[in-house]
Structure 1
């Protein structure tokens, strides 16, 4: 059996090297991104198992082997993150944690097959390994849960009934709070600064809006002075053709003190590009922003939905 297992392990090891050096799939679906991150656990599990076959590792006690291989995992993981950073990806401490998780799980397997292994030590390593694995899987579990809830609540795109929905919004300064005029209503407080562009984007949502007529945003404004907010919507074809201003929907809306309802006709969205129709079944971006404000602005976003 080992004649099959170990060649396969070496092959998987080589594949992991190529994939991790490639640098990830950060432009893909968030669930795919999470699965990619969990790949760090698998990669360092395989690599640590292979290191355990080296003669020095076989001769060393587990008390020496554990800190040495964990330190090696940190060094190797940091090198990989550094190489990915040079390629334009971000340096991820979460990936480093996943690297250590994979290495620890492999060390648990190595210790299991050691003659000197004792039941109490094995149980301790196994328990610690399971805890690390649960922590590594937490992010993907939250993502799966939110994806399920997102599909169940559609055509409501977001309503902040769960704090996990915060992962769907991209913004510089945001906080889940109660509405200023209703303590029982969850809203997202968004603070906009005085830079040229300041706003938020809905980054995870169901892309097919073709069966609906309107997009509506429910926003509360506590400040007395009105502010104008820009809303842009584009599809995947727009993303592939250079992000031209004439190839997307872009409108400005006035937000007054109190509750505001922005109703956007999807027919207008469809007809917004100058030389084609925007594909409502392939929406890729919904963003709202203010331009060059003299003072910081705050809005409270309650809901974005289709109808």
Structure 2
């Protein structure tokens, strides 16, 4: 059996690394010592760097659509951090500014860089935990696990509510046509396992119908038809319930093909057209042999 060597479209190596690159990209570029630039007063040099950073950042963001990427104003902020690093640590005339002020600016930009890097550090730690914990996909014993999920509703990790008296994820479903949450970051190779299992809790006496959907990477590359993925709706009465889905059913679910269990892309849970908001809990999402 092939082991789970990768986390599907991992948080740390997609937008996170891309975002941090904006900090390093501008630092060396904006301090090129053109002769006309070096003759300017220190405050003028700083102003030129900041204005050039803003203008270049805005132009880059306006051109994002040409590369199938959504413009992000946060990139402009990261550009300015890069410019600040250049000014505080690399710009030759920085020594002409008051020492106390420069130390304060250096500390400020170090903190700002740390705040930008921290989410990537957290993602890397959780990705390693996910590899170590596999075939458990999410048991919510760590607050970091919440970032493995994308939500179309409010989600949180609650203590002393899980199926074994520990933690579980709470989802507050609303009355939109589809309201739910999706597991997006996990080891994607499910070959060698026979069951996909999760535990769900309905705290209400009123039955709720929850649909579980599973699809592979190939599904995302087409029109994403309902018949091209696995869908199963369950009526959940009050209390805790363990739901086990045969992976052979998942494999055979797409019409006209077999789902690739080595390339599972996402697992979703949702309710459809609820008449009023409902709360459910989910725990111990895992694969079983």
TM-score band, normalised by shorter chain: 0.7 to 0.9
Which residue number corresponds to residue 260 of structure 2?
279
Listed one character per residue, the Cα deviations across residues 177-233 of structure 1 (whole Å, up to 9, x for unaligned) are 225588962222112222221111101111101111111111111111011111111
Structure 2 equivalent of residue 43 of structure 1? 25
1:304 aligns with 2:273: no
How far off its partner does 1:305 sit? 0.6
Give the RMSD, CA atoms, in angstroms. Answer: 2.7
Indicate conservation of the 8 Å contact 2:161/2:167, yes or no.
no
**Contact 2:202 2:208 (8 Å CA) reproduced:** no
Name the SS for the 1:238 alignment partner: helix
Find the aligned partners of 1:271 and 1:233 in 2 and give their Cα distance: 12
* CA displacement at 1:176 relative to structure 2: 2.1
Partner of 1:240: 221
Judge conservation of contact 1:101–1:136 (CA < 8 Å) in 2.
no
Residue 170 (structure 2) aligned to one of 189, 203, 207: 189
TM-score of the aligned structures, taking structure 1 as reference length: 0.81
Higher helix share: 1
Question: 2:82 maps to what in 1?
Answer: 102
Corresponding residue number in structure 1 for 2:108: 128
Superposed displacement of residue 85, structure 1: 6.2
Which protein has greater RCO, CA pairs closer than 8 Å, 6+ apart?
2
Q: What is the DSSP-based 3-state SS (H/G/I as helix, E as strand, rest coil) of the residue aligned with 2:31?
A: helix
1:137 positional shift:
1.0
Q: Call closer, same or farther: CA 1:28–1:182 in 2, change over 3 Å.
A: closer
Partner residue in 1 for 2:243? 262
What aligned pairs does 1:1-307 form with structure 2 within 5 A after superposition? 28-33=9-14, 34-50=16-32, 53-84=33-64, 89-112=69-92, 116=96, 123-172=103-152, 173-180=154-161, 185-307=166-288
SS at match of 2:235: strand
CA–CA distance in structure 2, aligned partners of residues 222 and 72 of structure 1: 57
Go from structure 1 to structure 2 and tell me whether the alpha carbon gap of 1:56 and 1:161 turns closer, same or farther (over 3 Å shift). farther
Q: Which moved more, 1:244-253 or 1:119-128?
A: 119-128
List gaps (5 residues or longer) in structure 1.
1-26
Q: Give TM-score scaled by structure 2 length.
A: 0.85
Q: Is the 8 A contact 2:205 2:238 kept in 1?
A: yes
Q: Is the 8 A contact 1:45 1:102 kept in 2?
A: yes
Deviation per CA, 1:19-56, whole angstroms, max 9, x where unpaired?
xxxxxxxx954222211111111222133223xx2345
Structure-2 separation of matches of 1:87 and 1:282: 25
Mapped to 1, the partners of 2:186 and 2:163 lie a distance apart of 27
- Deviation digits for residues 78-99 of structure 1 (CA, Å, limit 9, x no counterpart): 4433443687644434323321
Contact 1:111–1:122 at 8 Å: present in 2 too?
no
Partner of 1:14: none
- In structure 2, the residue corresponding to 1:263 is in which secondary structure? strand
Inter-partner Cα distance in structure 1 for 2:100 and 2:147: 40
Inter-partner Cα distance in structure 2 for 1:46 and 1:221: 56
Q: Equivalents in 1 of 2:92, 2:39: separation in Å?
A: 15
SS of 1:253 mapped into structure 2? strand
Distance 1:90 1:240 in 2: 19
